[in-house]
Amino acid sequence: EDDQQTGQIVSTCTAGFRTGAGGNLTAVGGTSADAPTFAAILALINQFLGSPGLAPVNPTLYSVAASTPSAFHDIKTGNNLVPCTAPSTNCPTGTTQIGFSAGAGYDEVTGLGSVDGFALAQAMGSAPGFTLAPTGGVSSLQVAQGSSITGTVHLTAINSFTGQVTYTCTDSVSESTCTGPSTAIDSTQDASFVITSKAPIARLERPFDRDSRILYATLLPGVFGIVVVASSRKRSLRSVRFLGLLMVLGFSTIWLGSCGGSNHGPKDPGTPTGSYTITVTGTSGSLTRQTSFTLVVVK
């Protein structure tokens, strides 16, 4: 496998792979053959361990090499030198070759060496680790719009794993939030996550808007008509003043009403109803594990 930071980690074949490409039998090697071969080995190890996943595997390989060196066969001879012409890029001055030579221990050609697949599987199986799952198997949560619900994740230690675990929560639901522990917690503690949905928000509409304008347009002529009729009949000054006061009060009521509002349909529908996935990730050092909840949002 090829490590982008440090170069080769392991070598899976020292003499190359035989191929019949182009009608001729020949041997090929390098990461083109090494990477897919080692990926297949890891797939078998993953199956052997019954693990939910081995990634990120690079730190584990270095740890196994230190604790169980017999899982690797150290390759001490050979090189990956190729011709070059100075001053081409990275070609050392005064030489015609560029590359590295194998040696004892880790080197840039063969990495940690070739692997003993079964020994590596046993060593990786004895390494401390953990799995995550919803507490009590409760993986489906139902919440109404505008309400909150709490989901809990339980950590199961593997091979006496201990330590602090940092949790994050990925919420795929729009108009909602998922909040978990703000700091790392001990591996013996369950992690709780509060999922809060948003309620629909009604739109505020002024009385002078839309249909209410027709109502006021109908009322105003009636008010003016009362005043005109009262004047034409030569009622007493007191009656005219009384009707005038009524008209002023009517206008005041209309004006004050225009400062208020009424509900007329939703402006923000809130958290959409439906089923969504909430993903919880736990990280401790180089170990990362995930689990998930199904969130059902109802009205």
pLDDT of residue 72: 94
pLDDT of residue 287: 81
pTM, entire model: 0.51
At residue 121, the pLDDT reads: 92
CA diameter of the chain: 125
pLDDT of residue 4: 42
Q: Can you give the pLDDT at residue 163?
A: 93
CATH 2.60.40.10 fits 129-199+275-298, yes or no: yes
CB half-sphere exposure, 43, CA atoms < 13 A? 6
Contact 124, 170 (CB under 8 A): no
CA–CA distance, 12 with 75 (Å, rounded to integer): 11
In this prediction, residue 60 carries a pLDDT of 85
The pLDDT assigned to 3 comes to 45
Give the Cα separation of 98 and 62 in Å (integer): 27
What is the DSSP track for 168-193? EEEE--TTEEEE--SS-EETTSPEEE
CB neighbourhood size of 282 (10 A): 23
Residue-level pLDDT, tens digit, the chain, 299 residues: 444 444 455 555 545 666 666 667 677 777 777 888 899 999 999 888 877 678 778 888 888 898 899 999 999 999 988 899 877 888 878 888 888 999 999 999 889 999 999 999 999 888 788 889 999 999 999 999 999 999 999 999 887 889 999 999 998 888 899 999 999 999 999 999 999 999 998 765 555 555 555 555 555 555 555 555 555 555 566 666 666 666 666 655 554 555 555 555 557 889 999 999 999 999 998 788 889 999 999 99
CA–CA separation, 198 and 175 (whole Å): 6
Question: Which amino acid is present at 270?
Answer: G
Q: Is 37 in a helix, a strand, or coil?
A: helix
Q: Sketch the domain layout of the chain as residue ranges.
A: 2-125, 129-199+275-298, 202-267
Distance separating alpha carbons of residues 269 and 175, to the nearest angstrom: 9
